[in-house]
Amino acid sequence: MIEKPRLSTIETPERYGGLLICGLNYGLLQGGVPQPETDLKPWAEYFTHPSNSTKDKFVTRLVVWCNWWGISLESNGTPTELNRAISQTNLFYDSSKSFASRSAEEIELAFKRLDAIITRLNISGLFLASTTMAEAARNLLRIGEWKTNITGQFSLRRALAGSLRVAVCPHPRCAQSKADVKALAKEMCQWIGSVMEDYRRKQAEPRPEPYR
């Protein structure tokens, strides 16, 4: 495994103190060959930038969910404050294994990398886009007890890890009905609102280089 943490989104001052979206790993196309971890440079100017959204169903599905929640990521084609505050990564940088097949050493290193990103960017909110990561995250990131809401096949877990706000939803590629996802719009909007309050405060405070 690669030891250095990596992001899909380019690091900018706007992302300091923002929201970190973390998937499990890179999707494997039908008939595709599993790929090991590779050290790619960040490519996306912001979360919904065409360089990111046009080739990633993970991103496009999350955009759909945000629309169902009433959370705006773009306005007349321009990224919103939230969109520009988002950093994106995966727990693993490969496309070859399920979470259950990982060794304890792999999982520990993966969360160590994730924690390094959280610390470096002083992240206010961590959105884990796969329930399979929930319990390992709780143990390795020292997260408190989950507050869980469930509607049909959709669930939302929220908790704190110190001052870090953490939320967990099913993976966006899992089939979810609009009604189930939309039913938790109030809870998701409240969580995002709290993250953005922390974000704005951190943006207004003196920031370390290179995030000034």
pLDDT in tens, 115-130: 999 999 999 999 999 9
8 Å CB contact between 143 and 137: yes
**For residues 94-116, average pLDDT:** 92
pLDDT at 28: 66
Q: Is residue 91 part of a domain?
A: yes
How many domains does the structure of the chain reveal? 1
How far is residue 177 CA from its own chain's centroid?
Answer: 21
**For residues 141-158, average pLDDT:** 96
pLDDT at 96: 75
- Residue in the structure block whose two tokens are 């939309």: 182
Q: Is residue 34 part of a domain?
A: no
Nearest one of 156, 167, 83 to 125, comparing CA atoms: 167
pLDDT at 97: 75
Better pLDDT: 23 or 95: 23
Nearest one of 35, 44, 34 to 6, comparing CA atoms: 44
pLDDT digits (tens, 9 = 90+) for 156-167: 999 999 999 999
- Residue in the structure block whose two tokens are 């090991």: 36
Q: Is residue 37 part of a domain?
A: no
**For residues 87-114, average pLDDT:** 93
Q: Is residue 177 part of a domain?
A: yes
Domain extent for 197: 43-204
Letter for the amino acid at 144?
G
Q: Is residue 3 part of a domain?
A: no
pLDDT at 129: 96
Q: Is residue 112 part of a domain?
A: yes
Round the average pLDDT of the chain to a whole number and report it: 94
pLDDT at 121: 98
**For residues 66-70, average pLDDT:** 97
Parallel/antiparallel/unpaired status of strands 164-169 and 125-129? parallel
8 Å CB contact between 156 and 188: yes
CA distance 19 to 196: 8
Parallel/antiparallel/unpaired status of strands 78-79 and 147-151? unpaired
pLDDT at 33: 72
**For residues 10-34, average pLDDT:** 86
Q: Is residue 27 part of a domain?
A: no
pLDDT at 35: 82
Q: Is residue 136 part of a domain?
A: yes
pLDDT at 32: 65
8 Å CB contact between 59 and 47: yes
pLDDT digits (tens, 9 = 90+) for 24-59: 998 766 656 778 898 889 999 999 999 988 877 899
Phi-psi map region of 141: left, alpha, beta (phi>0 left; psi -120 to 50 alpha): alpha
pLDDT at 89: 97
